[in-house]
């Protein structure tokens, strides 16, 4: 093993240097938490906090949903954060998971294609490819999904290099971080074996056994859960999921333009197949059939004959694997063009420009999010509109120069012309991918960063209220628990957890409707005095955080220009019913 690592040392170093480039410049830096931002950390950080300190969030729905959220990732982080600052743990994990993923991408490309496709693939990984189920690869915050993907792709690369047992072991271990994506890659690998008769052997039976044994902690957790009380019918559950997670579960509900963009990528993938060997195309055909089979199963058993387990697997999200395969093929095509005529070099640069352009477009024309309130997202990370500092520009220059030095060592000395072309391509591609650093995002600042008033309110709450206090908060502001670290009645973002707990899904929707959610209009109306009184009478919160614009009566124990914190027992309710 040590000898193999030494042999591939320059390739590994190339991938790791690119991990720093993508992590801190393409992804625009590490994002620890943005409270009113539609990101997973508004739910995931409180779960980590709850594993670190069991006294937090008592009575909160997030604790009720936590046990159904089967992953050992967050319990492990909660335990580690008892001894190390969580910020540095997450920062290290963010860089490490990005680096591991890029190492895996490098070796996947080098395994499937001729030399040097891996160098293109590592940077092309940063391209935005439309995924109907949601983009799984890119995140400026480490999630259980982005962490698991690195292990899973490395397992796939090892299996393609005929290191079957080690590949199966990594896939099984990764299932303890994210079982869903391990299922996706496991199916891909299984279909790959179906298409390779020369590999058929009774010894292959060992692979699923190894995977199951490695994943046994997660299986023990999953099958040890108490079954839902079935008080909610499957029809009602599907109805709620269509309302909350239609974009990740139900293929017929995905916007047509997203499907169109996805199939354009698939069409370009078919074209790029002419640049690969017949053997690789045969292998890739069978592996991709695994994902297409999952999509068929996902369509039939979510849209036509809904089954809860299939809904929970969110098979629509598996389309990211097809995008990954397409990206590997594009990398091979570009690598071959860079060795060809001048016209082919121009084609390589043109395709790179096309693949990098969506990142710039998304800065200027950000996509609205599937929420019942106005919300736009900066694709890369939360920024305040500031551009690169002189120190940052110097660091970027040094990093790109370091990558070029490694490329010089990787390329054979007798191919000086090709070396120059690859290095020139890398500089061009790197600059294209960091262009968003110099573009002020069109995302409204109130959507991109934590507003001063909202931050001030939460810090006051954390410093001046009991640890076990229970709050009602505006449902359109995600992540109250992150900074305030107090139990919350619920918000819209919480709905992502409830796909794993049918009964809590109904409870969540009832709470959203109590907070003013209008299903027909798909929006939230301003909370009224009578609605807040009804919530107080039924759920007994200790405090309410309200917008001043709601004009809720009561004694404010804290107030700024946007919010007031009220003790619920001081809210006059008799005259309002």
Give pLDDT tens digits for 351-380.
999 999 988 888 888 888 888 988 877 665
- Quote the pLDDT of residue 5: 64
- pLDDT band of residue 159 (cuts 50, 70, 90) is very high
In terms of pLDDT, which residue wins out, 540 or 364?
540
**What's the rounded Cα separation, in Å, for the pair 176 and 244?**
26
3-state DSSP call for residue 317? helix
- pLDDT band of residue 559 (cuts 50, 70, 90) is very high
The residue-averaged pLDDT of 64-88 equals: 92
Query: Using alpha carbons only, how large is the chain's radius of gyration in Å?
Result: 25
Question: Which residues is 472 bridged to in the sheet?
Answer: 544
**What's the rounded Cα separation, in Å, for the pair 150 and 161?**
17
Spell out where 242-310 has E strands.
none
- Quote the pLDDT of residue 382: 46
The residue-averaged pLDDT of 448-455 equals: 83
179 close to 71: Cβ distance less than 8 angstroms: yes
The residue written with tokens 């045969």 in the block is 282
- The sign of the torsion formed by the CA atoms of 376, 381, 384, 389 equals negative
Q: Tell me: the pLDDT tens digits for 134-145?
A: 765 666 678 888
The residue-averaged pLDDT of 186-196 equals: 91
Least-confidence region, from 197-201, 280-284, 385-389, 475-479: 385-389
- Quote the pLDDT of residue 354: 95
pLDDT greater than 70 at residue 36 = no
pTM above 0.75, yes or no: yes
The residue-averaged pLDDT of 530-539 equals: 94
In terms of pLDDT, which residue wins out, 38 or 567?
567
Least-confidence region, from 72-81, 113-122, 335-344, 390-399: 390-399
Q: Which helix (H) or strand (E) holds 531?
A: helix 529-539
Helical pair 502-514 and 234-244, crossing angle rounded to 10 deg:
50
- Quote the pLDDT of residue 35: 44
- Quote the pLDDT of residue 415: 67
**What's the rounded Cα separation, in Å, for the pair 253 and 132?**
10
pLDDT greater than 90 at residue 116 = no
The C-alpha angle 410, 412, 415, rounded to 5 degrees, equals 125
**What's the rounded Cα separation, in Å, for the pair 484 and 49?**
12
557 close to 567: Cβ distance less than 8 angstroms: yes
Question: Which residues is 564 bridged to in the sheet?
Answer: 546, 559
- pLDDT band of residue 386 (cuts 50, 70, 90) is low
H-type alpha helices, 319-389: 319-338, 342-364
- Quote the pLDDT of residue 240: 93
Least-confidence region, from 53-57, 130-134, 520-524, 534-538: 130-134
The C-alpha angle 228, 219, 53, rounded to 5 degrees, equals 75
Distances (CA, A) of 493 to 475, 506, 540: 8, 15, 22
- Quote the pLDDT of residue 228: 59
Question: Which residues is 545 bridged to in the sheet?
Answer: 565
Contacts of 533-537 with CB under 8 Å at 24 or more apart are 533/571, 533/573, 533/576, 533/577, 535/472, 535/489, 536/472, 536/568, 536/571, 536/573, 537/573
- The sign of the torsion formed by the CA atoms of 469, 472, 475, 476 equals negative
- pLDDT band of residue 33 (cuts 50, 70, 90) is very low
- pLDDT band of residue 129 (cuts 50, 70, 90) is confident
* Average model confidence (pLDDT) across the chain: 87
The residue-averaged pLDDT of 441-466 equals: 87
**Per residue in 479-494, is it b (16+ CB within 10 Å) or e — as a string?**
bbbbbbbbbbbbbbbb
Distances (CA, A) of 391 to 23, 218, 388, 397: 17, 45, 8, 10
End-to-end CA distance of the chain: 73
**What's the rounded Cα separation, in Å, for the pair 74 and 48?**
5
Q: Output the six-digit token pair for 490.
A: 């619920």
Least-confidence region, from 14-18, 235-239, 248-252, 346-350: 14-18
H-type alpha helices, 384-475: 390-410, 416-434, 445-448, 452-464
Kindly tell me the burial class for residue 451, based on how many C-beta atoms sit within 10 Å of its own C-beta (0-12, 13-18, 19 or more).
middle
Q: 437, 427, 383, 378: which is closest to 402 by C-alpha?
A: 427
383 close to 448: Cβ distance less than 8 angstroms: yes
Query: Which DSSP symbol is given to 464?
Result: H
Percent of the chain with pLDDT over 70: 91
- Quote the pLDDT of residue 577: 45
Calculate the dihedral angle through the C-alpha atoms of 547, 551, 556, 561, rounding to the nearest 10 degrees. Answer: 50
Least-confidence region, from 187-196, 292-301, 392-401: 392-401
- Quote the pLDDT of residue 280: 95
- Quote the pLDDT of residue 388: 61
pLDDT greater than 80 at residue 30 = no
- Quote the pLDDT of residue 181: 92
Q: Tell me: the pLDDT tens digits for 490-515?
A: 999 888 888 888 888 999 999 999 99
- pLDDT band of residue 127 (cuts 50, 70, 90) is confident
């Amino acid at each position: 093993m040590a000898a193999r690592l030494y042999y591939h040392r320059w390739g590994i170093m190339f991938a790791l240097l690119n991990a720093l480039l993508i992590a801190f410049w393409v992804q625009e830096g590490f994002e620890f938490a943005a409270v009113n931002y539609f990101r997973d950390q508004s739910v995931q950080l409180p779960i980590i906090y709850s594993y670190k300190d069991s006294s937090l969030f008592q009575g909160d729905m997030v604790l009720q949903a936590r046990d159904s959220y089967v992953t050992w990732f967050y319990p492990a982080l909660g335990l580690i954060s008892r001894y190390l600052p969580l910020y540095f743990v997450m920062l290290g994990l963010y860089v490490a998971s990005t680096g591991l993923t890029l190492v895996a991408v490098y070796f996947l490309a080098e395994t499937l294609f001729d030399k040097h496709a891996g160098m293109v693939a590592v940077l092309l990984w940063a391209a935005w490819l439309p995924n109907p189920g949601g983009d799984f690869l890119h995140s400026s915050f480490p999630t259980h999904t982005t962490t698991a993907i690195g292990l899973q792709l490395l397992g796939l690369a090892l299996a393609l290099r005929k290191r079957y047992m080690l590949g199966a072991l990594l896939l099984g271990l990764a299932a303890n971080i994210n079982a869903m994506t391990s299922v996706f890659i496991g199916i891909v690998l299984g279909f790959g074996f179906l298409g390779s008769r020369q590999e058929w052997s009774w010894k292959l039976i060992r692979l699923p056994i190894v995977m199951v044994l490695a994943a046994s902690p997660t299986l023990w957790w999953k099958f040890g859960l108490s079954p839902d009380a079935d008080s909610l019918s499957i029809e009602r559950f599907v109805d709620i999921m269509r309302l909350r997670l239609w974009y990740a579960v139900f293929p017929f509900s995905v916007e047509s333009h997203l499907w169109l963009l996805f199939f354009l990528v698939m069409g370009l993938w078919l074209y790029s197949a002419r640049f690969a060997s017949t053997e690789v195309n045969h292998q890739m055909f069978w592996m991709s059939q695994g994902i297409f089979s999952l999509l068929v199963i996902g369509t039939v058993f979510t849209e036509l004959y809904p089954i809860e387990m299939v809904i929970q697997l969110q098979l629509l999200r598996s389309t990211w694997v097809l995008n990954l395969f397409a990206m590997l093929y594009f990398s091979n095509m570009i690598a071959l063009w860079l060795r060809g005529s001048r016209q082919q070099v121009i084609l390589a640069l043109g395709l790179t420009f096309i693949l990098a352009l969506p990142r710039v477009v998304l800065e200027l024309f950000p996509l609205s999010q599937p929420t019942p309130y106005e919300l736009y997202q900066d694709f890369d990370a939360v920024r305040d509109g500031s551009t690169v500092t002189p120190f940052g520009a110097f660091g970027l220059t040094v990093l790109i120069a370091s990558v070029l030095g490694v490329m010089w060592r990787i390329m054979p000395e007798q191919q000086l012309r090709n070396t120059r072309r690859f290095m020139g391509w890398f500089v061009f591609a790197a600059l294209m991918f960091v262009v968003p650093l110099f573009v002020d995002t069109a995302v409204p600042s109130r959507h991109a960063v934590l507003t001063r008033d909202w931050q001030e309110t939460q810090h006051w709450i954390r410093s001046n209220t009991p640890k076990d206090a229970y709050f009602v908060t505006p449902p359109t502001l995600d992540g109250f628990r992150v900074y305030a670290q107090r139990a919350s009645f619920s918000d819209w973002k919480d709905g992502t957890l409830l796909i794993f707990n049918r009964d809590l899904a109904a409870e969540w929707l009832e709470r959203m409707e109590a907070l003013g959610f209008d299903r027909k209009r798909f929006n939230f109306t301003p909370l009224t005095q009578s609605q807040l009184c009804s919530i107080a009478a039924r759920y007994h919160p200790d405090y309410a955080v309200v917008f001043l614009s709601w004009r809720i009566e009561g004694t404010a124990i804290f107030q700024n220009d946007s919010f007031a914190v009220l003790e619920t027992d001081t809210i006059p309710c008799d005259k309002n019913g």
